[in-house]
Chains A and B, each alone.
Chain A
Amino acid sequence: MFNIIDKVWIIPALMAASFLVILFFGKRWGTRVTAGIGIASVSICLILSVVVAGNWINRVNNPPTGAALAAEIVQANGLTPQTGKTIGEEINAATKDSGETVATDSQSASGESHASEAGAYGGEHESVPPVVRTVTWFQIGGLQFEMGTLVDGLAAMMLITVCIISLLVHIYSTEYLRGDVRFTHYYAFLSLFTASMLFYVLSSNTLQMLVGWELVGVCSFGLIGHWWEEKKNTDAALKAFLTNRVGDIGLILGVIITFFAAGGSSFNVLHLNEYALSGNANTALLLIGALCLFGGVTSKSGQFPLHTWLPDAMAGPTPVSALIHAATMVVAGVYLIARLYGVFFSGLAIGSSTFHYVAFIGGFTTIIGGLLAFVQTDLKKVLAYSTISQLGYMVMALGVGAWTAGVFHLFTHAFFKACLFLGAGSVAHACHHSFDMREMGGLRKKMPVTHATFLVATLALAGIFPLAGFWSKDEILAGSANGQENAYTIMLIFGLITAFLTAAYMGRAYWMTFWGKYRGHAHPHESPKVITVPLIILAGCAVVLGFTNFPKSFFGFKLPGSFTTRFEHFVEPTFAFPAIQHAPFTPWLAIASTILAAGGLFVAYQYFEKNRGPHGLTSRSKIAHAGYTFLENKYYLDNLYTGVIAGSTTGPLARAANWFNQNIIDGVVNGIGNGARKIAGVVYVFADQIIIDGAVNGSGQGSEGAGQLLRKIQTGKVQQYASILFAGAVVLAGVLVFVV
């Protein structure tokens, strides 16, 4: 029976086909058909993704066990037993802690029991192996490199997220980019991006993830620089791509190092995780591998210090920013950590530490992103720094061991951030494509739907009950408060501070944009339905999706078990996954974060709307002014990168390299050439002229000399000839007589 979960590669393939069709025929068939193809393809992919999710939910509810499991694995080559054990042993190892016994041949039987409470894997259901389908890509020296798909809850969740947001962006772009000079090109890139992101998400091994990673990077480059007629757009695109490249060094190193750390036999994600968790792996290598992989995450997911490209990437069209730089591409790094969590958990010893690099960077990023959002006048830049800050949250969550919290925040953040971005796009669409908040104001009356959705999304981002952000952010804070064995206190403090900051800067943006008097020059009006309907859908998601992970006990209120923590139940892996502690709902923390959020909004209201507070502080106080300038220059990081690092490379380093090249290397090469010439000269004079020619001439002269000698015999005198003749005859005769 055809099961889409078996053939899940169709989904990215469909988007890739859409890309090719648009690429080759889009210009000819016109913008309407192009948009239609794109939207149709994404819709089909969305439907298929929902089916896949349904299949997965089915699988979790009725996991294959015993003989069925063994048969399925053997038949579909689902798992790759690369840890040196047989398939049966692996299944046994995977399922024994849930109280099951598994038979590898068809003896099914007694002793099968489904433990439904906590096994050693912490998941509250029995181990459900993901659906892995691979083919051998190539073989080198006994190692098989595979290509395939891996579907589990995380992948299914990502599929749905990417498809929904991509669909909404496709629809949105028909209006936003109407009349654009490169409409079909844009849609082609959107399809390619969706295909790449889906490909990346479904990868079964790190090599494939590398391919998908790079592809989405390329699409990002292409889409940011969509209006490349203006130099600042191409600069932004290049900055994005090159900064990502710097991080990719780490990624590639990480892929290689983890390959070797896990025994050097396979790139398969499950194998890497299992090997890392089994304790056989070289811990030093694992740590280095995890940190290298995190290098890639730093650039792609906008962590400090490689976050500088994200704000500049706002030069691209707003739907692109919504799709790529809010919801999907930037979370590729977070997804990487989530997918290879075994490696990170073991390598960074998440379970037993209170402070490590990944968690710290995550936390630090949240704060610096939040601080920078205050000094922006461009609405999209505010949202960009907000994205950086929220990505920091996700990384921090994964860093403290709150896997589900981080991934759940990824899920909810995608929707409300996309809603915010599209709302900003709607606002700009009405304000002549200007995002400058100083020229906005009072738009709530003129654009009611946009205002409403923007408000909902802002409250969700700030983390106000009962919107989505509240649940996800609260889980992160609870996770850092409880930690695994020890609490990650510093991260908790970072998180709380950022909760306040988030609410504050979003409040600032909201009030500057939608309240007060309109300060611009355009005539804003509500955007057409094509723009507002996606906004409504996304805002609705922002409201509702928080309840998918309703905690088990909410201030004492308990829902039946089949309604709580559904997200965690279906998405968190149970196979090749470390045993992590799940922090329960912490009431005091929830209250504290809500107070902080509300406080932030209130402060923003007072400062920006009511104009209370220390306005003009920066012109009065030197310290404040210095601080403001520091923030305005984005901590001078751009200057560091461009001026110091790149500048010293292009300037002194390049000059030094040039000097080295011209004088030393060229000197050596020229010297060798000159030396060869001299040697050739010597060889010519000495060896060739004297020796060889001497030999040749000498042989000639020798012959001549011999000839000169011999010609003396030829005297012309008959008697001499006769005497020689007779003498010869005597000799010959003597020989004949005596010898022969």
Chain B
Amino acid sequence: MLALLVAQNIAFYIIAVMMVFGAIRVVTTKNVMHAALWLVLVLSGAAAQFILLAAEFVAITQVLVYLGAIIVLFLFGIMLTRAKTGTDDDLDNKKSAKFIGAGIGLALFGLMSYSLIDGFKDTEFGDLTVQRTAEVSDSIFSTYLLPFEVLSVLLLAALIGAIVIARRD
């Protein structure tokens, strides 16, 4: 048990560091392509975290959807907007905006960490049991059926909308 936990913890921390680093690189890199790739890192890190949290289905879905579709979509977007390959200096706002952003981010982080630490310190998971896909699907198609249907309509709308917007005519 302890060994398992220790292993999970170590895995968690390694992946977490990777993710954070990757996230920082996403927002600071001067290369658009690199930003997309760092984003891949973050997303896959997220999938790994999901596995750690015994949420298999979400992990797989994350990989499929995010890494498979959304990143591709980003890459297409980069391509179609003729982003400059290599370093591009014109990717950030001016310094004051960056400072404001940093300030806000830090303030937000400070606040959130305070409330989290204050609220959830020493809250441990217990024995993480796997959340089976069957249960998830049961839940989707019974309790959360309506949001599911709405979501499908939303996706349809988004699809049609995207087509209409990006249509060349």
Binding site for B on A (CB under 8 A): 719, 723, 726-727, 729-730, 733-734, 737
Contact = CB atoms under 8 A, between A and B. Distances in A.
Contact of A726 (B108, B112, B114, B115): B108
Interface string B100-137: 11001001100110110000000000000000000000
B114 A737 contact: yes
B101 A723 contact: yes
A737 B93 contact: no
B166 interface: no
Given A726-B104, A729-B108, 17 more contacts: A719-B93, A719-B97, A723-B97, A723-B100, A723-B101, A723-B104, A726-B108, A727-B104, A727-B107, A730-B107, A733-B108, A733-B111, A733-B112, A734-B111, A737-B111, A737-B114, A737-B115
A278 B104 CA distance: 111
23 contacts: A719-B93, A719-B97, A723-B97, A723-B100, A723-B101, A723-B104, A726-B104, A726-B108, A727-B104, A727-B107, A729-B108, A730-B104, A730-B107, A730-B108, A730-B111, A733-B108, A733-B111, A733-B112, A733-B115, A734-B111, A737-B111, A737-B114, A737-B115
Contacts of B104: 723, 726-727, 730
User: Interface size bucket, B side?
Assistant: 10 to 19
Nearest to A736: B115
B153 to A, nearest CB: 27
B114 to A, nearest CB: 7
The 3 closest A-B pairs by CB, nearest first: A730-B107, A737-B115, A726-B104
B159 to A, nearest CB: 24
A738 B25 CA distance: 33
A730 B107 CA distance: 7
Contacts of A727: 104, 107
Nearest to A726: B104
The CB with the most chain A CB atoms within 10 A, among B93, B104, B108, B112, is that of B104
A720 to B, nearest CB: 8
Nearest to A729: B108
Interface string B54-94: 00000000000000000000000000000000000000010
A737 B110 CA distance: 12
Contacts of A729: 108
The CB with the most chain B CB atoms within 10 A, among A723, A726, A730, A734, is that of A730
A737 B107 CA distance: 13
Nearest to B107: A730
Contacts of A733: 108, 111-112, 115
A726 B112 CA distance: 13
Contacts of B93: 719
A730 B97 CA distance: 17
A406 to B, nearest CB: 122
A719 B96 CA distance: 13
Nearest to A737: B115
A729 B93 CA distance: 22
A726 B97 CA distance: 13
Contacts of B100: 723
B2 to A, nearest CB: 35
A730 B115 CA distance: 12
The CB with the most chain A CB atoms within 10 A, among B93, B107, B112, is that of B107
B67 to A, nearest CB: 26
Contacts of B101: 723
A602 B108 CA distance: 146
B145 to A, nearest CB: 32
Nearest to B106: A730
Nearest to A727: B104
A727 B93 CA distance: 18
Contacts of B114: 737
Contacts of A730: 104, 107-108, 111
A734 B112 CA distance: 9
A733 B111 CA distance: 8
Nearest to A731: B107
Contacts of B107: 727, 730
A727 B114 CA distance: 17
Contacts of B97: 719, 723
Nearest to A720: B97
A723 B94 CA distance: 14
Contacts of A737: 111, 114-115
A726 B107 CA distance: 10
A733 B108 CA distance: 9
Contacts of A723: 97, 100-101, 104
A634 B97 CA distance: 121
B43 to A, nearest CB: 22
Nearest to A733: B111
B57 to A, nearest CB: 31
A522 B95 CA distance: 141
